[in-house]
Each structure stands twice: as structure tokens, then as C-alpha cells.
Amino acid sequence: MSAVATERTDAASIGLDGTRTPWLIAFVVSIATFMEVLDISIANVALRHIAGSVAASYDESTWILTSYLVANAIVLPISGWLATVIGRKRFYMLCVATFTASSLLCGLAWSLHSLILFRILQGIGGGGMAPSEQAILADVFPPDKRGQAFAFYGVAVVVAPTIGPTLGGWITDTASWHWIFFINVPMGLISLLLVGALVREPAASENERQQLLAKGLRIDFLGFVLVALGLGCLEVVLDEGQRSDWFSSPFIVTFAVVSAISLIALVPWELTRADPIVDLRLLGRRQFGTCFLVMLLIGAILISTTQLIPQLLQTEFGYTATLAGMALSPGGAVLMLLMPIAGRLTDSVQPKYLIATGSAIVALSMWH
């Protein structure tokens, strides 16, 4: 091998932060995001088993899903600020540790109320993981390799919700619902050890943190409260609205009003703050705002189908938990096959064409 070829190979294997293991880091953070996204859907098919085990009705057991999503939604938008204050690596490891410990507690839960409490903790830990993982990938991969890196990472993000019902159904039918939470523990411990050994705190991130602390830490407390109330109440309305007959329920009306007032008030407050907890000004950038909207719509489709289809198949068609989960397996297999290909295509095809093509295929599949 020539000296030039050797130099190119070495350059391709060294990340921006100097590490020689960028792809190993991508694998490590994908493990964590896989188990975090998996937990959004894996408990779905086990709800009836859990309800029977903790002496709760099916409607009451749905709070196992709602509590996780509410906590996740509250932490997600403020995770960037928290990572800056605490340090990206430290914040990420704290999130993984919280998620892993709460997964163990979920498996040991002795009542519905204890399980809901531990699911809230699990959602808090999981909510900060995805933004930190994406930032870590951007740190260790050069721009010409990020498409492939994010495609590799994306396999975990999009495959986990599709195989979650299958895996959750199989575990529930063959073992018990406790194990859908216990399986996160070894994965979380492995992720913690590898992140601690491989990931470095970027110098630029640490400098930004030191500058922020030197100026005096100013917390946008009102912004945090508005985000928590707005997104938390909105998640409750969307998740519990149908079961409570929507706006004929005073409970739903109250949460809807609180959510609307909080989110409306959040916009002018964050736009006029020098140090907002959520920088809404980013949405004014055309490319960022457009991608944000596309991700919102595609994410809504992905999560809603993986949540609702298993429930429909079990309640209306009499499917077992395993069969209900297997109904989503073909989609997961196709995603695993195409995501690496899409990552390579981003090096030669403009991403906007790939996004438009993928969105059109999703729309066609939803129509038929």
C-alpha cells in the first residue's frame, strides 16, 4: 500500500476529536439510542399483561406509555442547554445511567403507581440521550462521513420502534412483562463503560461551558416551566383524549388550555431572551426549519403506527402479543436494508431529493 493510500486510510479512521475509533463510538451510541427508542414501543403490546399483573384496568395501564412520553417530551428540548452546562459527555452518561437504573426499577415495580413513577424517571433519562448522541457523532466524524454515520445511527432510531412490538410480544408471551425492562440493564451498563472509555469531551464544548459558568449561570426558569407545561400537557391531551371523549371531558379541556397558553407564551419569551433554554430562532433558518417540519411529520407517522397497530390487532382481531408485533417486522427489515444505502447516497445525491422521495413513499404507503 502506498504512503498516500495509507495516509488516506488513517485519515478516514480518525475522528475530528483525534480519536481513532469513530465507527466504534457510532456503534456505542447506537446501542443506547436503540434501547431508548425501543422502550417507546416495547411496552405497548404488554399493556394487557401488565394491567392484569398490577390489578389495573387497561385504560389505567395506558399511563405507563403516557408517563414515559411526557417526561421524554419535557427533557428533549432542554437537553442541549443541560449538555452545555453539565458537559456533553457527563450529561450523556448521566442520562444513560438514569435510564438503566430506572429500567431495573420498572422491572421490579410492585404496583401501577410505582411503575408509572419509574417510567417517568426512565423518560427523563431517555429524553436527553438522542440530542447528545447526534452531537457526539458530529464531533467525531468529518462532514464527508457524517451522512454514513447518521445513517448507521438512524438504523437504530427507526428499526427499534418497528421491532419493539415483536420483541415485547415474544418476551411477554414466553417469559413475563418484567423482562421487557430488564433487557435494558446489561445494554445500558455496556454502553456506560464504552462511552466512558471512548468518548472525549470536545475542547470547544468545554470552553463554551467554562465561559458560560464564568459569566454566572443564568437559568431560564420561566422558559423551562413553559416548555414542561406546554409539551407535558399536550402529550397528555393527545394520548388520553380519545379515552376521555376529548373536549367533553373537563380533564382534557383543562390540560388543552394549559398547553395552549404555555406554548403561545413560550414563543415571545424565548425569542426575546439572550440565553433561551430553547433557541426558537433556529426555526427561522429555512433549511433547519424545513427539516424540523419534515422530521415532525415523519416521526408522528412512525410513532403513531407502531403504537396503534399492535393495539388494534390485539383488541379487534384477537392477535397474540407476538403476532401483533410481527405485523410490523417487514417494515423493520426493509429499514435495516435501506438505511446504510441511503447513507452512502448522501455523498453523491443531494439530501433534499432523498427526503422528498422517502416522504412520497411514506405518503403512498399510508394512503393504501
Residue pair 159/33 in contact (Cβ under 8 Å)? The answer is: no
- pLDDT value of position 216: 67
Is residue 154, in this structure, part of any structural domain at all? Answer: yes
Question: 358: domain CATH number?
Answer: 1.20.1250.20
**36 and 181 belong to one structural domain:** yes
Is residue 312, in this structure, part of any structural domain at all? Answer: yes
Q: Which residues of 309-333 are buried (b: 16+ CB within 10 A; e: fewer)?
A: bbbebbeeeebebbbbbbbbeebbe
Distances (CA, A) of 296 to 13, 248, 301, 303: 33, 28, 9, 11
Q: Report the domain count for the chain.
A: 2
**31 and 118 belong to one structural domain:** yes
| pTM for this prediction | 0.75
If 0-12 CB within 10 Å is exposed, 13-18 middle and 19+ buried, where does residue 360 land?
exposed
Give 3-state DSSP helix, strand, coil % of the chain, rounded to 5: 80, 0, 20
- pLDDT value of position 14: 47
**182 and 327 belong to one structural domain:** yes
Residue pair 74/234 in contact (Cβ under 8 Å)? The answer is: no
Going by C-alpha positions, the residue among 218, 196, 205, 223 that lies closest to residue 93 is 196
Is residue 271, in this structure, part of any structural domain at all? Answer: yes
Copy the grid coordinates of residue 123: 423518560
Domain interval for residue 268:
220-276
Considering 231, 257, 276, which residue would you say is the last residue of a domain? 276
**185 and 233 belong to one structural domain:** no
Cβ neighbours of residue 342 closer than 8 Å, sequence gap 6 or more: 151, 154, 354, 358
Is residue 2, in this structure, part of any structural domain at all? Answer: no
- pLDDT value of position 368: 60
- pLDDT value of position 3: 41
The conformational region for residue 199 under phi > 0 = left, psi -120 to 50 = alpha, else beta, is beta
Is residue 102, in this structure, part of any structural domain at all? Answer: yes
Is residue 4, in this structure, part of any structural domain at all? Answer: no
Is residue 5, in this structure, part of any structural domain at all? Answer: no
d(CA 210, CA 206): 6
**270 and 315 belong to one structural domain:** no
- What residues in the chain have per-residue pLDDT under 50? 1-16, 18
CB neighbours of residue 204 within 10 Å: 10
Residues 225-252 have pLDDT tens digits of 888 888 888 878 887 787 777 888 888 8
**159 and 233 belong to one structural domain:** no
**322 and 249 belong to one structural domain:** no
**323 and 189 belong to one structural domain:** yes
**230 and 302 belong to one structural domain:** no
- pLDDT value of position 260: 93
Identify the residue whose cell numbers are 437559568.
Answer: 219
- pLDDT value of position 2: 41
- Provide long-range contacts, Cβ within 8 A and 24+ apart, for 274-283: 275/218, 275/220, 276/220, 276/223, 277/77, 277/78, 277/81, 277/219, 277/220, 277/223, 277/224, 277/227, 278/77, 278/78, 278/81, 278/223, 278/227
Is residue 9, in this structure, part of any structural domain at all? Answer: no
**254 and 307 belong to one structural domain:** no
Copy the grid coordinates of residue 310: 399492535
**183 and 212 belong to one structural domain:** yes
**324 and 344 belong to one structural domain:** yes
